[in-house]
Amino acid sequence: MAAIRSFFRHVAAADPASFGVAQRVLTIPIKRTHIDVTYHLTTAEVDTLIAAPDPKTPRGRRDRAFLLFLARTGARASEATGVSANDLQLERPHPQVLLRGKGRRDRVVPIAKDPARALTSLLSERGIAHHEPRPIFLGNERLTRFGATHIVRRAATEAVPTRPALADKPISPHIFRHSLAMKLLQSGVDLLTIQAWLGHARVATTHRYATADVEMMRNGLEKAGVNGDHGVRFRPKDSVLQLLNSI
């Protein structure tokens, strides 16, 4: 539909004789779609998922590093799997990573201390130098989106016995992105910064996190005094009534 509308805008500008047809096409209303609730995890749930892989095995160490990367950077699955060693800067004091986003919108985001340590260990274990254009997260070759989803679901299966509430959550690589966005918002980070961090083309996309946070709405009600409690009706004392009557 977007392509059709774009074409008929061109027709309206380039061929005045067809303006009437183009105008009728352009006035066709856009279908309203249902927007699902944005689910996110608590900090404890995220930490439980990250701790699920077995650190004694190479696969477990890779899985933990991948989960940490998703949780701390807010990267999309395709962005995380597309990261190579030369996209990383793990040296102190400001570790960061270059993410190659949708629509060729690249961005640089900071990396927290725990994923920086995990990534440094992973590179050392694989014998990969920081300047090499080699993938970090590997299956047989570079990890795919299917492989990323499999890692997250396997971690969720292992974490459910520890935190049963995870069984009712739609666990996927993208839920880490939602969870980081909500945590940033609840910490007071402004929407424009979150937009730049997540690589959203429009701030309206980022704004849905603000509308999804029920706890922030409750706090807003308390701050505004809109809680439905009108208190006890004022009842004047006899001395006050006598004073008023004497006026």
The predicted-structure confidence for 212-241, as pLDDT tens digits, reads as follows 666 666 665 566 555 555 555 666 677 777
Return the minimum-mean-pLDDT range out of 39-48, 59-68, 109-118, 232-241: 232-241
Question: Is-contact 98 27, C-beta < 8 A?
Answer: no
Q: Is the pTM of this model over 0.75?
A: no
3-state SS, residue 107: strand
The model's pLDDT over 141-158, given as tens digits with 9 standing for 90+, comes to: 899 999 999 999 999 999
Assign domain 43-213 to a CATH class. mainly alpha
Residues 37-63: what's their mean pLDDT?
A: 90
Highest mean pLDDT (candidates 62-66, 142-146, 178-182): 62-66
Amino acid at site 178: H
Average pLDDT over residues 34-40: 64
> DSSP 3-state assignment of 89?
strand
Contact criterion met (CB below 8 Å) for 82 and 170? no
Active site residues: 76, 102, 174, 177
Where do the domains of the chain lie? 1-33, 43-213
Note the pLDDT of residue 35: 52
* Confidence check: pLDDT of 98 > 60: yes
